[in-house]
Amino acid sequence: MISDRLSAVTTRFETMKPRVYIETFGCQMNVADTERAATGLRSSGYDLCDSVDEADVVLLNTCSVREKAERKVYTRIGEVRAARSGKQDVLVGVMGCVAQLEGASVFDHAPSVDMVIGTRATDRIPLLIERARGGERKLLDLDERGETDSWDVSPAERHSPHVAFIPIIEGCNKFCSFCIVPYSRGRERSRPASEIVAEVKNLQALGYKEIQLIGQNVNSYRPRVDDGLEGFKGATPFCRLLRAVAATGMPRIKFTTSFPRDFHPDIVTAIDENPNLCDWIHLPVQSGSDRILKLMRRGHTRNDYWQRIERIKSSSRRLALTSDIIVGFPGETDEDFCQTLDLVRQCEYDSIYIFKYSKRAGTPAANFTDTVPEKEKTARFLALEEAQRKTQERIYRSYVGRTLQVLVEKQSTRSEHDLSGHSTCNKVVNFAGDRSLEGEIVNVTVTAAKTNSLYGALVNRSAVE
């Protein structure tokens, strides 16, 4: 049966240019990895397509940060196989964090998987597919990056023609007790600044209006060489990188995610000095209780965090602030949770992502026994959501009557008469307008505040550079 399937696939590959469909789950790092994988595949002669139905090879780029995300992968593998049952069969590969963590046991869970491709094997995907096409079974690559691995992304493979993600650091050395990322993504490795700046300049020449410097902890950026940062002042390599990237003249520069312990006040100074460094900071706190922060091994106290927030709030521009919070961490009492509620109110976040704690095997917190019942986690989730809703309503309403610079990204999904984009403070802004404005930065006066977006009216049709 299996050999029939392989011989059918092989025959088809011999006669046609293989088409690859990559489906991406999870964070922006996965989106960036998909863009790189697609670039490598295209340059090796593969065609990329947009659905399982058209594909000869299906790659699932997976996320393992919470248990639910991981379960989704196995459901999806089943769906892919079902969608193709009775038709031309496909090769299926699992890449990303689940691949790196589960390794060969993916084959036990899902025997129909042909390839398991770890987070550092992106450059070797064309080779792995070649081998699978040649009939090799259950291919596994969890090896490190090669010395000559490339970060190149062709413009055609970027997720948007207007906003580009640029990974500046990968991996994580922080080992928060709940988090699987240090295991799935390995140790921190920073890219040379010269390479990052060159990529920004390239994107600018191609007409990109916004770049986002991305990494699990962007502000822990620490390249091995100073190459590209000469002449740029700053208290940390990340502050110097921000100034170097701002000096390219790229219209809008955002960065995410920042880690509180490494959040140097000079980041805010760099933002104050450079209008193209955008007015938005994502600084996850996870909990407002010192006791829980310690159990989480975050390396910061509530007060350390608040000091960073005070500096952000003292900026000459109002900087939008967002955060991630976990509720129901093992041992979290009512009193601990009240401290989280209190901190969230005090910080006045523009928005927050709330997660119910989910046990990840292999992390230290997986052995913590003092678990919070699911019902209680849900109650805390809802209480926090309600507290945030009130703050957010007030903040969003305060934008009514103000004019924001919006990068027009696409037609709104709600109405074909509306366009949708993001402000410099990273709010979704919708407004009536013609699609010819896509890719432009325009002025929009806010007329209404919705729960998670703003609605406005175009001020004039001339682009603001």
Binding-site ranges for ligand SF4 (CB under 6 A): 172, 174-176, 179, 181-182, 216-217, 259
338 backbone dihedrals φ, ψ, rounded to 5°? -60, -35
Residue 360 interaction partner, one of ligand 5AD, ligand SF4, none, beta carbon < 5-8 Å per kind: ligand 5AD
Residues that bind ligand 5AD (rule: CB under 6 A) add up to a total of 12
Tell me how far apart the alpha carbons of residues 217 and 422 are, in angstroms, rounded to a whole number: 23
Residue 66 interaction partner, one of ligand SF4, ligand 5AD, none, beta carbon < 5-8 Å per kind: ligand 5AD
Amino acid at 254: K
Residue 216 interaction partner, one of ligand 5AD, ligand SF4, none, beta carbon < 5-8 Å per kind: ligand SF4
CB of 9 to ligand SF4, least distance (A): 37
Residue closer to ligand 5AD by CB (options 179, 429) is 179
CB of 257 to ligand SF4, least distance (A): 7
DSSP one-letter string for 67-126: HHHHHHHHHHHHHHHHHTTTS---EEEEEEHHHHHHTTHHHHH-TT--EEE-TT-GGGHH
The burial of 293, by beta-carbon neighbours within 10 Å (0-12 exposed, 13-18 middle, 19 or more buried), is given as buried
Rule CB under 6 A: choose which of 25, 151, 178, 208 binds ligand 5AD. Answer: 178
Assigned token pair, 417: 């008469």
Tell whether the torsion through CA atoms of 86, 90, 91 and 96 is positive or negative. Answer: negative
CB of 37 to ligand SF4, least distance (A): 21
Residue 228 interaction partner, one of ligand SF4, ligand 5AD, none, beta carbon < 5-8 Å per kind: none
Map the footprint of ligand 5AD across residues 59-98, applying CB under 6 A: 65-66
Residue closer to ligand SF4 by CB (options 157, 262) is 262
Residue closer to ligand SF4 by CB (options 216, 424) is 216
Closest CA to 119 of 190, 57, 33: 33
Q: Is 152 in the site for ligand 5AD (CB under 6 A)?
A: no
Residue closer to ligand SF4 by CB (options 99, 446) is 99
Residue 57 interaction partner, one of ligand SF4, ligand 5AD, none, beta carbon < 5-8 Å per kind: none
Residue 172 interaction partner, one of ligand SF4, ligand 5AD, none, beta carbon < 5-8 Å per kind: ligand SF4
| Cis peptide bond prior to 257, omega within 30° of 0 | yes
Q: How does DSSP classify residue 416? A: T
CB of 202 to ligand 5AD, least distance (A): 29
Q: Is 25 in the site for ligand 5AD (CB under 6 A)?
A: no
Map the footprint of ligand 5AD across residues 347-406, applying CB under 6 A: 355, 357-358, 360
Tell me how far apart the alpha carbons of residues 451 and 141 are, in angstroms, rounded to a whole number: 44
266, 286 contact by CB (below 8 A): no
Unique residue bearing structure tokens 């950026």: 221
Tell me how far apart the alpha carbons of residues 384 and 352 are, in angstroms, rounded to a whole number: 10
Rule CB under 6 A: choose which of 326, 344, 352, 442 binds ligand 5AD. Answer: 326
Residue 124 interaction partner, one of ligand SF4, ligand 5AD, none, beta carbon < 5-8 Å per kind: none
CB of 24 to ligand 5AD, least distance (A): 16
378, 336 contact by CB (below 8 A): no
Unique residue bearing structure tokens 């703003």: 454
Residue 352 interaction partner, one of ligand 5AD, ligand SF4, none, beta carbon < 5-8 Å per kind: none
CB of 212 to ligand SF4, least distance (A): 17
Strands 210-214 and 163-167: parallel
Crossing angle of helices 125-133 and 28-43, in 10° steps, is 60
> 235-255 burial by CB neighbour count: b if 16+ within 10 A, else e?
ebbbbbbbbbbbebebbbbbb
Residue 259 interaction partner, one of ligand SF4, ligand 5AD, none, beta carbon < 5-8 Å per kind: ligand SF4
By residue count, the chain amounts to: 465
CB of 253 to ligand 5AD, least distance (A): 22
Residue closer to ligand 5AD by CB (options 202, 358) is 358
CB of 46 to ligand SF4, least distance (A): 32
Assigned token pair, 458: 């175009």
CB of 173 to ligand SF4, least distance (A): 8
For 22, 282, 322, 355, 361, the CA distances from 29, given in Å and listed in that order, are 14, 15, 19, 19, 22
Residue closer to ligand 5AD by CB (options 139, 179) is 179
Tell me how far apart the alpha carbons of residues 344 and 391 are, in angstroms, rounded to a whole number: 9
Q: What residues make contact with ligand 5AD under the rule CB under 6 A?
A: 65-66, 178-179, 284, 286, 324, 326, 355, 357-358, 360
